[in-house]
Amino acid sequence: MSPARHKPATAEATYLWRIQYFRSAKGGTVFAPTAAFLKFSACVFSREARKVLQSILIKQTTIAAPAETSGLGLHTAVPVRVRLRPAPPDNGLVFVRTDLDDFEINASVECIAHCSYATTLMRTGVMLSTVEHLLAALRGLGVDNAYIEVDNLELPIMDGSADDFAAMILRAGVVEQPAARRALRVRRRVQIEQGDRRMSVEPHETWEIDCMIDFPHPLIGMQRLRFDALDPEAFLREIAPARTFGFTEEIEVLRRANLIRGGSLENAIVLTPAGMLNETPLRRADEFVRHKILDIIGDLALLGMPLLGLVRAERSGHLLHAALMSKLLRDDAAWEIVDMPVGAHLAVAS
């Protein structure tokens, strides 16, 4: 890639280039440009300027400084400490089991071991469970490269959402690195179906997720939301706070299977046949579909880079997310790796 491609050619583009960084309230450097600004710029800039903007490359990012948090594992109830460390360009997201001589497990599709109730990674017999909410926070906030130190076999559940992980990332700050961000561009539609569960990905200028869930429950019913997964601000506001949920009738089954030993009303919405056990209200009426989108972003982070494609999910779960990724990757003609253009957002606005 020629360095000239990084140089903006017009005053408008130079302006955009300069505001690609903004200082977060806590003083860290957070990745920009913001989607709102890009949508605004798509309206006010000339057609020529927009062409230039679309040719500017987005750079890879890592966190500016180490940051940590701790909590209990949802399924194992073991206490665990998580610490993020900066990583070089093209490193990707790599888990490090500090309790096992810093054994590394890549956040990658090849390491998926099983995915009932949570996504578990494994490499040569070493496991790491419930990775999806932390991965969603990293992918959702546009962090490409980081080491994730973990001192036990399961990530902490925190409050059942990705809020605490997002806060940890913002505390650390996010910085750009001297390498173009890569994206996995979908070239051909791929679909997977299991009964009435369906998931597909198709060519699209940006990364959007159109998600539908359908539970015969008075608090849920059918919920549907379409989300721009390349917009970190929207992720923070719309998706990160959505908590995981479960049904009382499932809970005994899961307990008998030795799962959700750390589960409580502090880290999940627990639904009874007519309502919920939690005394605090839902964070949003459609918190359930928002959490499903959170899970999709977290699981699809295992592709190692953001997608350029439209994901449609109906009644999907971790198993289907993994099956779709593996079917997509097996079909060489269905995808290619490209530099991520700023124009991915402009495409949404035009």
The footprint of Zn ion (CB under 5 A) covers: 244, 295
In the bound state with Zn ion, the residue whose beta carbon lies nearer, of 143 and 162, is 162
* Smallest gap from residue 289 Cβ to Zn ion (A): 12
Of the listed 75, 133, 291, 318, which one is catalytic?
Answer: 318
187: its two tokens: 């070239």
In the bound state with Zn ion, the residue whose beta carbon lies nearer, of 223 and 244, is 244
**Position of tokens 């909410």?**
133
* Smallest gap from residue 297 Cβ to Zn ion (A): 10
* Smallest gap from residue 291 Cβ to Zn ion (A): 6
Residue in 165, 138, 148, 149 with CA at minimum distance from that of residue 301? 138
In the bound state with Zn ion, the residue whose beta carbon lies nearer, of 290 and 345, is 290
* Smallest gap from residue 118 Cβ to Zn ion (A): 7
In the bound state with Zn ion, the residue whose beta carbon lies nearer, of 42 and 118, is 118
* Smallest gap from residue 170 Cβ to Zn ion (A): 20
Catalytic residue check, 318: yes
In the bound state with Zn ion, the residue whose beta carbon lies nearer, of 165 and 207, is 165
In the bound state with Zn ion, the residue whose beta carbon lies nearer, of 155 and 342, is 155
In the bound state with Zn ion, the residue whose beta carbon lies nearer, of 132 and 149, is 132
156: its two tokens: 């902490």
300: its two tokens: 């699809």
* Smallest gap from residue 201 Cβ to Zn ion (A): 20
* Smallest gap from residue 318 Cβ to Zn ion (A): 8
Whether 178 contacts 269, CB under 8 Å: no
> Helix crossing, 35-44 with 47-55: angle to 10°?
150
Q: How far apart are CA 32 and CA 25, in angstroms?
A: 14
Q: Which residues are catalytic?
A: 318
